[in-house]
C-alpha cells in the first residue's frame, strides 16, 4: 500500500496541539478528558512518540471527533472523485494495521475506512471512542474476531458486524494471513 501519511508524528503533533489550543486546554486538561497521561500527550506534541490507534482514539474522542477527524481533517468541499492513491493512509505503530480513509466529509456524517490487519495482530479501542458514532464492520478477506465488551464474534469473509452500546472493543486477526475489512460509521 502506498500513500501512507508522509510524516505521521509531525501531522499528529500539529493536529493535537492545534485542537488543544483552539479549546484553550492545558495538557493536563486534555489528559483528564482523554485518559491519556500528560507525559504521553507532551511526547506526542513534541513528536517524540508515534501514538497507537487506541491512544489516538482516546484523544479524538476528548475533542469530540472520530479517529479520521484527528488524523486528517475533512476538506471544506469534498471531491466527487478521490482516487485510491490519493486517499490518506495511516499505519498503527503497535499493531501494524493500516487504515485508508476512503470517505470523509464535513457535509456528510458517513465515514468509510478500509482496514488491513496483519496476521496475529490486534487493535483495541475504548468504549468512549464509540460514544458519538454508530459503526458496522464488513469482513472482505481473512479472519477477524471482534471482542465487544464481554462477547466475542468470529467473522468469515462476507460477514458483517454492527456495534451496539459503547463498550471496550478489540479487533483481532487470529489467522495466518492479513484480514481486510471495511468500517462504515455514522457520526451522530
Q: Please indicate, yes or no, whether residues 152 and 66 belong to a single structural domain of this protein.
A: no
Residue 142 and residue 158: Cα distance in Å, rounded? 10
Q: Which CATH number characterizes residue 174's domain?
A: 2.60.120.10
Q: Please indicate, yes or no, whether residues 150 and 92 belong to a single structural domain of this protein.
A: yes
How high is the pLDDT of residue 6? 54
In the predicted model, is pLDDT for residue 164 greater than 90? yes
Provide the pLDDT confidence category of residue 20 given band limits of 50, 70 and 90: very high
Q: Please indicate, yes or no, whether residues 115 and 27 belong to a single structural domain of this protein.
A: no
Mean pLDDT of 125-133: 90
Whether residue 3 lies inside any domain: the answer is no
Whether residue 28 lies inside any domain: the answer is yes
Among residues 40, 71, 102, which one ends one of the domains?
Answer: 71
Q: Please indicate, yes or no, whether residues 32 and 121 belong to a single structural domain of this protein.
A: no
Q: Residue for cell digits 458496522?
A: 136
Structural domain for 52, as ranges: 8-71
Whole-prediction pTM = 0.83
Joined together, the cell numbers standing for residue 146 give 471482534
Q: Which CATH number characterizes residue 62's domain?
A: 1.10.260.40
In the predicted model, is pLDDT for residue 135 greater than 70? yes
Whether residue 18 lies inside any domain: the answer is yes
Residue 131 and residue 53: Cα distance in Å, rounded? 16
Q: Please indicate, yes or no, whether residues 38 and 111 belong to a single structural domain of this protein.
A: no
Q: Please indicate, yes or no, whether residues 49 and 118 belong to a single structural domain of this protein.
A: no
Whether residue 114 lies inside any domain: the answer is yes
Among residues 71, 96, 122, which one ends one of the domains?
Answer: 71
Q: How many domains does the chain have?
A: 2
Mean pLDDT of 53-73: 86
pLDDT averaged over the chain? 90
In the predicted model, is pLDDT for residue 60 greater than 80? yes
Amino acid at each position: 500500500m502506498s500513500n501512507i501519511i508522509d510524516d505521521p508524528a509531525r501531522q499528529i503533533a500539529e493536529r493535537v496541539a492545534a485542537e488543544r489550543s483552539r479549546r484553550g486546554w492545558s495538557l493536563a486538561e486534555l489528559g483528564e478528558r482523554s485518559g491519556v497521561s500528560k507525559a504521553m500527550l507532551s511526547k506526542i506534541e513534541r513528536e517524540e512518540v508515534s501514538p497507537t490507534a487506541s491512544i489516538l482514539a482516546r484523544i479524538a474522542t476528548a475533542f469530540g471527533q472520530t479517529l479520521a477527524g484527528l488524523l486528517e481533517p475533512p476538506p471544506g468541499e469534498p471531491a466527487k472523485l478521490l482516487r485510491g492513491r490519493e486517499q490518506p493512509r495511516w499505519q498503527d505503530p503497535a499493531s501494524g494495521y493500516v487504515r485508508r480513509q476512503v470517505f470523509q466529509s464535513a457535509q456528510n456524517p458517513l465515514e468509510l475506512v478500509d482496514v488491513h490487519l496483519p496476521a496475529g495482530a490486534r487493535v483495541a479501542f475504548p468504549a468512549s471512542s464509540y460514544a458519538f458514532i454508530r459503526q458496522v464492520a464488513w469482513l472482505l478477506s481473512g479472519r477477524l474476531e471482534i471482542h465487544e465488551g464481554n462477547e466475542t464474534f468470529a467473522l468469515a469473509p462476507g460477514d458483517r458486524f454492527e456495534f451496539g452500546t459503547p463498550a471496550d472493543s478489540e479487533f483481532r486477526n487470529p489467522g495466518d494471513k492479513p484480514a481486510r475489512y471495511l468500517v462504515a460509521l455514522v457520526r451522530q
